[in-house]
Amino acid sequence: MNDEIIKALAFNKSVRIYAVSNTNTLNEIGKRLHYYPSALDAMGRVLSMGAMMGQLVKLLLIVMHMGILEVIVIIPIAILNIMILD
């Protein structure tokens, strides 16, 4: 089964629904980087939110680790462009 994003929209009362499945990506990260289950849980939440936000704007995902997971950051590209230009 592939990783998927399912998006549903309603018109009149502005309902927006997202469903994200990223199990395969998390399994691959777990195999390659040997993270603890709690770190993979955090990574899964960030990837899910990033996938939903990525439907609206382009994102930069930064993961910093030195043996253990230290920092996960998602930056919208629009903000990044403003920061570079200033």
* Helices 37-54, 23-33: crossing angle, 10 deg rounding: 140
- Single-letter residue type at 32: R
Helix locations, the chain, DSSP H: 23-33, 37-54, 77-85
- pLDDT tens readout for residues 9-38: 888 888 988 888 888 888 888 888 787 888
Model pLDDT, residue 1: 61
Structure tokens belonging to residue 43: 């990574």
What average pLDDT is seen over the chain? 77
Structural contact between residues 7 and 55, judged by C-beta atoms closer than 8 angstroms: yes
- What percent of the chain shows pLDDT beyond 90? 0
Residue 35's φ and ψ, nearest 5 degrees, are: -75, 155
The overall pTM is greater than 0.85: no
Model pLDDT, residue 75: 77
